[in-house]
Structure 1
Amino acid sequence: MAEPGFNQKLAEIGRHLTAMRASVEASRSVLSQAVQQRRLPEDEVLAAEEQRQRDDAGRWRNTEGALAAEVAMLGEAAARHKLAFDRRDQPTGMERLLGRFSRAAMRKRTVRRWLRLDSFDRLGAMMRQADALYGLLSAERQHLLEERHGCESDLVQLAQQRADMLQQLEMEPGAAARAEAVGLVEDTLRLFGTLATALNDRVASCNVLLHKLAVETEEILILYRVLADLGAQGPAAEADLARLPHLREAHERFRSGRLIGLDLDRLREKADAGFFLKFPAHAPARSGSETASGSPVSSGNSG
């Protein structure tokens, strides 16, 4: 997992998130102004807002997809390292040959193979990536929560101003019929209700990604701890973790020796279920036997 490529991807994702933040702020400004003035925005402003929300929906799908891909790749790399470590006692051909002469020498070579610097460094790189992803997702989630709270608060106030907005519409030259005016007010409330729903959905996506990331990070840290202890690199490993600002809780567990993986399988099952439901493109392929025993597969005719 080359960090330069990862850093470039994360920087690009960050730029998209920044652009969407500006877009949400523009939408919030329109809503806040409507509340302050106690009247509906102009037709062209509402049309622009509707288009902005459509554009943002597409941008968010692409961005959350890119974030999911990075989290999934980190998880796949962690799984490969764990599998290889679990099989560490299976000697290579050269090691088996050496074992014919000395079992101790074979064992020593096997352990040394697992203490190679590149393996330790790769795990360190994975932790830096986990830290960067966690920082980006946590900051975005917090921002979205604040925007959602503000949007919902303004939306409640706007809904309470229905009578004032209807009165404004009826006082305008060439005023629309009462039924049409009511429709305009409700359409406006629905439009900004869609914004609040979109913000809530984005928070939910961040929660899913953070949950999955937390499980993968714990897996990486456990393996890192084991390798650090085997190679007597504990202090250096702890110093490396201390430089990861977004993994402070994980660092504390590492420092105090509490990385024991309690309930990790159960947590993984729950995190994976939510992740694969939200991002089915990353779900493992089902075998033919699983498909046959599961729900019926459509023949292509809907009936």
Structure 2
Amino acid sequence: MLHLRLITPSEKTDEVVLLIEKTVGATHLVVLPDAARNPAGDVVMCDVAREAGDELLAGLRELGIDTSGSIAVETIDLSLSDRAEKAEADAPGEGADAVLWEHLSDATHEESTLSVTYLAFLTLATMIAACGVVLDNAILIVGAMAVGPEFGPLAGICTAIVQRRPRLALRSTNALLVGFAVAMTLTVGFSLFMDAVDLFSEQQLKADRPNTGFIYAPDWFSFVVAVLAGIAGTLSLTSAKSGALVGVAISVTTVPAAANAAVALSYGDTKQTWGSTEQLLLNLLAITIAGTATLLTQKWLWSKQRKRANVL
């Protein structure tokens, strides 16, 4: 269930209340006249089944509540109410299958913004992965994958394509490209420093690396795994199962590939630099394709389900 807290101009409250009352899956409606001060207006609260949330939010935006008032949405972890159970039963579809497009757009907007924190995490992840590839240490590679924040901008690009939001696409692409450029540049410097203090060596990079050699040798398995990870990551975002993102993060070799390319570049190893760059681009492309296809499929399936429910 979702909890909505609205601030509505007094002249629009009746329309908002009528919309909520007509929404199948909405319950626990509360109206507090003149309770809001900034902005001034009425406070309207209700609970709604997740599968009915997107339709209600779209209706509220059509009424202009997001510009003339306020719309706040929270997830209810526990609701002990027969009315809530009935609302969830009446709402068409399953809550786990529903996509809250406004929530997805907001989440990807935050995760795909080029910020100092984002650059710091991506750079640190790339440097950790650099240590992993030189030492041929799989544990460090997995740790670097988990730290890397690159799935946020990738999800932002997928969402922007499906929702036709060019600004989100531009912001996400900028965060992705600039982020990796900065992280790889700093990692080249980090590699040179580690070599200067005799912690890295060219011999380690060029030695047989059974645990990490795949990073600069992309193949069809790399593409398949990235596609599967892209689907899983997108589903975890749309179904609010964020815990699955950890599994996605350690399934693809974006950050390790960037790290291997940076270290190889610091030693002038063009073969590994190019192979790692191919691996990076292949993973980014596969995740974007898979994520976009997943969102389009979810959108189509949900619209078919809604039409079937309206007919019944």
TM-score by length of 1: 0.31
TM-score by length of 2: 0.30
Structure with higher Rg: it is 1
Tell which has more relative contact order, 1 or 2 (C-alpha 8 A, sep 6+): 1
Question: 1 or 2, which has the higher helix percentage?
Answer: 1
